[in-house]
Amino acid sequence: MNKYALTGHPLGHSMSPLIHNRLFALSGHTDCTYELVDIDPDVIADSRELIESFSGMNVTIPHKQSVIQLMDELGESAQRYNSVNCIKNDNGRLIGYNTDCDGFLRSAELLPISGNVVILGCGGVGRMMAIETALHGGSLTLAVLPKDVKNAQLLMAEILAKCSNAAVRIADIESLEGQFDLLVNATPVGMYPNTDKCAVSDEVIGSCLSFFDAIYNPTETLLMKKARALGKTAVGGASMLVYQAVKAHEIWYGGKFTTEDISVIITEVENAVDSMNK
């Protein structure tokens, strides 16, 4: 029996068991189990033996940085973001990876991330999305609240250090202007239960061609509803959630999945989220 798990603290309701169990079933790995393992931050430094008892783990907040000290090796993506959300146990050798970037890139592969892109927010997932956009040649606007300008400046410096020819600017999210090929929402605005909120005005939505919202609950945010009402493409966060899990299975045991398989799981996740909110 091969054991896998998600660790974090606190661990409330999670879509991870649904997603990973479906992926195990699709790949024929019926001998695999997946569970939730809550590890208190005070003891994460002493959790090497616990982590070693699993064939692989996913990692969520607040442990994405703190588990790094327990790793024997870091993959390139984990080094780039100083963040681990996936661990492979390779015969007792723990290797840390970051699959969030894979989740974003794969779910947004039909979106113009190499064009004129505005990202709302600059922390956590927004930082990753901004760096990936710059690395893929996008002309990037970081749209933030005044209180977050210093963080945006630090992110801009980080981007330029990784990609010296990147085009990056900072804008006030409340007075955002201009036309964009892609708008990415990396803020929590519009997340359940505050589903009547939208991070930008209707005018901004009208000036953007396509949208990616990292929020997966609700499955269709107000931002996405408004964009789709105008006939524009809008992708939600459930796809990113599933694709980062797919990458974990590729890492753990070389799992292979079809686009059709993944689409079915994304729909299942969206249906589960919608049912949860009723």
Give the chain's domains with CATH numbers.
Answer: 2-98+239-276 (3.40.50.10860), 102-235 (3.40.50.720)
User: What distance in Å separates the CA atoms of residue 204 and residue 109, rounded to the nearest whole number?
Assistant: 23
* Angle value at C-alpha 137, between 129 and 68, nearest 5 degrees: 40
What is the secondary structure of 188-238 as a DSSP string?
-TT-TT-TT--SS-HHHHHTEEEEEE---SSSS-HHHHHHHHTT-EEE-HH
pTM: 0.93
256 catalytic residue (yes or no): no
Contact 133, 117 (CB under 8 A): yes
Instruction: Please name the residue that has the structure tokens 């588990």.
Output: 67
Q: Which of 64, 88, 226, 247 is catalytic?
A: 64
Q: What is the pLDDT of residue 277?
A: 85
Average pLDDT on 88-96 reads: 97
Q: Which residues pair with 140 in a beta bridge?
A: 117, 168
229 CB-near residues (< 8 Å, 6+ apart) = none
Q: What is the pLDDT of residue 197?
A: 97
Exposure string over 108-128, b if 16+ CB within 10 A, otherwise e: beebbbebbbbbbbbebbbbb
pLDDT band at 146 (very low <50, low <70, confident <90, very high): very high
User: What distance in Å separates the CA atoms of residue 229 and residue 185, rounded to the nearest whole number?
Assistant: 17
Token pair of 136, please?
Answer: 């893929």
Q: What is the pLDDT of residue 278?
A: 79
Q: What is the pLDDT of residue 121?
A: 96
Average pLDDT on 100-115 reads: 96
Residue 1 has pLDDT above 80, yes or no: no
pLDDT band at 50 (very low <50, low <70, confident <90, very high): very high
